[in-house]
Every structure is written in C-alpha cells, then in structure tokens.
C-alpha cells in the first residue's frame, strides 16, 4: 500500500489520511531525541499496516535529522523490536 504520509513538524506528528480517516503518529522532541508517544489508526481502516508505515516514516525522518528515538508508545516499541535495522536510532 502506498501511503501519503505528511510530517506536521509544528504539531510534532506524522499524518496519513486513509479512506477519509485520519491516522496519526505523535511525538515529542527534546534536543536531538524524538519520543514517539502515540499512534492512532481508527478501527475502520485498521489491519492494513498503516501504523507500521507511520512508525517507519517517523524513524526514517529521525535518521535523516540525526535524531535518536525513544519508542514510548507500546506499538512503536513492539514494531522496533521486530525491525532491528532501526536499533541504531535507540536513545
């Protein structure tokens, strides 16, 4: 699935609209550390891998900025456990 994910830097979130539903990954930024605090994918569009793509996109953005990442959100933490290629980003 090709998602259009938008980085709302001012709102500290990544957003994708899928079939009219807003899917969001929220984070906080302290210096060079991104803390992923929440992922939300409405049930109506769930089960399509959207949350995973939001996390992947956020981690790619963090890597591009030279940030470290704290996956405080349980989904993001579990996703990162399954994708060790992002271990270098852990704060």
Q: Is the pTM of this model over 0.85?
A: yes
Is residue 2's pLDDT more than 90?
no
For 55, the token pair is: 């996390």
Which one-letter DSSP state was computed for residue 49? S
Query: Residue 89's pLDDT is what?
Result: 97
Q: Which domain holds residue 34?
A: 5-89
Which residues is 69 bridged to in the sheet? 34, 90
Total tally of structural domains belonging to the chain:
1
Pick from 21, 57, 17: nearest CA to 36: 57
pLDDT in tens, 61-86: 999 999 999 999 999 999 999 999 99
Q: For the domain that residue 30 is a member of, what is the CATH number?
A: 3.40.630.30
Alpha carbon distances (Å) from 83 to 11, 12, 22: 26, 23, 25
């Amino acid at each position: 699935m090709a998602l259009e994910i938008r980085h709302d830097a001012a709102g500290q979130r990544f957003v994708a609209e899928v079939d009219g539903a807003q899917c969001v990954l929220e984070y906080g930024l302290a210096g060079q550390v991104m803390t992923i605090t929440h992922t939300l994918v409405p049930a109506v569009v769930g089960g399509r891998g959207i949350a995973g793509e939001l996390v992947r996109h956020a981690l790619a953005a963090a890597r591009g900025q030279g940030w470290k990442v704290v996956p405080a959100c349980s989904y993001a933490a579990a996703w990162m456990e399954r994708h060790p290629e992002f271990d270098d980003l852990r704060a």
